[in-house]
Amino acid sequence: MTITKTSQIKSETQLKNSLEYIINGDKTMNETLVSGHALNNIHNAEFEMLRTRRFAQKMKGNFSNGKGEVFAHHIIQSFDPKDNITPEQAHEIGEKMMLQFTEGKHEFVIATHVDQDHIHNVRPDRVLSQVV
CB 26 within 8 A of CB 115: yes
Catalytic residues: 21
Residue 57 burial class via C-beta count within 10 angstroms: exposed 0-12, middle 13-18, buried 19 and up: middle
Contact indicator for 87, 33 with CB cutoff of 8 Å: yes
Closest Cα to residue 111, out of 14, 16, 28, 49?
A: 28
What is the C-alpha separation between 8 and 109, in angstroms, rounded? 15
Helix-, strand-, coil-residue percentages of the chain, each rounded to 5: 40, 25, 35
